[in-house]
Structure 1
Amino acid sequence: MDWDKLRIFHAVADAGSLTHAGEALHLSQSAVSRQIRALEESLNTTLFHRHARGLILTEQGELLFDATSSMLKRIDAATARIRDSEEEVFGELRVTTTAGFGSLWLAPRLPKFYEKYPDIRIDLMLEERVLDLPMREADVAIRMKEPSQADLIRKRLMSVRMRLYASPEYLAKNGEPEKLEDLSTHRLICQSPSSAQVGAGLNLIQELMTYDVRSTLTVNNYFGVLQAVIHNLGIGVLPDYIIEDFPTVVRVLPEVESVEVPVFLAYPEELRQSKRIQAFRDFVQDEIFAHRRQLRAMGEE
């Protein structure tokens, strides 16, 4: 099958328009249209439904688009490996992690990475959905569980625990609880039990809710929980990695915490030699070591 025709088909399917695809490919609309017709004739099928507002893939077109998407992702991976220099780190690096870890721990540390590697372009994807690394939805992932996908290189970075924190101003005004039963007189701030989160955090929240907590604020990510805590709204359930960057918050009921949550870094086997991946992996590991030293100095580990 002619790769040029497949490349043009993919651009049309992605854009939903012959005109827009032609602009992206630097081809005339008529040239794009001829290539699509030739491809449909060679396959003896219709790939697009045509209407005034654009083009919609047929069922057969959807099948072919899935195939060309996979092919392009593989080509992107090969291109990245070829372009990775032995001396330089450059190009795009797509990193996926959870909203909490990405916004509260990773993003504040990225200036150091850019200072060392100014020519890299990071696409940081913060979401709870586990992206498919072998299918190149991302280059590298940091997740709160060991990845189950095959053909991945994985490394355990650290462990996290969910603990209770409050601001000094809130505690000065409302008093500090001495036992779990005292939570009934405080506002509990936590991730919503219905939102995607690690099981250890959910189990701790469910346990705390059994203590007749009368006032709550639930948020769908830890960034929102932290903002409510530092603005004196109540006692929050937060991962312990926030402490280094927010040393003024106070740990409440220090005997209360979740079980350990492992944090893993993973990337596809095919990117083993990627200089971008190696640089990012080494940077994160160095920051983890510094993070652990800081926590030990603060008596939190």
Structure 2
Amino acid sequence: MTLAAWERFLDDQDSWPAASRATEQTTARDTTSATTFVKRKRMSPEERHLQIMQAAVKVLAVKGFWGMSLQDIADEIGITEAALYHYINSKNDLLYAVLSEGYDTPDADEYNASTALVTDTDGHRVYYFPRYCLNIVLYNLQRPEMVQLFSMLNGEALNPEHPAHDFFIGRHLRNWEQVGSMDWVLPEGYDEERFYHLYTLAMSAMDGLQYRWLADHSVNLLEEWLAFCDEMFPEAQWAGFRDPSEYDPSAVPCLRPLTLQARESA
């Protein structure tokens, strides 16, 4: 059963926490519109870098790395390919920059963790994993082009010759290192190994659902994810452990004993 605190997200997108970088509008030129490029004022290096990154996301999301050329990027922003080399060294370097700056960013990490956190009456800062997962979905709903880019590159990078192969092969464990370091409040019966399996299940389910969402516009990503949550985090086991709104300081002032870190250190 969907939490009341989550139902509002279905009815009102204004209730979603605002994504920082995801709300920035792309300034790259639409080369499919047959309009003539109008020269703009000289950009600062930072502005040009951002414009190149946004154009690269747009092209990579559609063509992938193998199909993209640097001429495509130059055409998107209205400069020559030679001028583009003033800002990047190679096609590979551009790909690495897009991956490091555009997807798994500190902004995304902060967004996903911020409203999954509660501070109990003893000052312990603990996190709720089901809400953390929901935040990833809410964040990605605000950046569909970036999700499409990730999905495109993830598929391409199955090829060991792909320059992002190592990035994607190691990504799950890199992210787990961060997740595993956070102080999660969890139901009884969860040790580190079982929580890792739950984390892997949740991220795999999310990736698969996002593929469906990108391919079929009739799929409501948020509704489907909330239905998944009913299966992965059933109320009978997870009530009180799903969202910070469930925390009742008068009933349980200190949440520390309910955390995975406390169990592992006992």
| TM-score between both structures, scaled by the size of structure 1 | 0.24
For CA contacts below 8 A with separation 6 or more, give which structure has more relative contact order: 2
Structure with the larger strand share = 1
TM-score by length of 2: 0.26
Say which one has the larger Rg: 1
If each structure's helix is expressed as a fraction of its own residues, which one has the higher value? 2
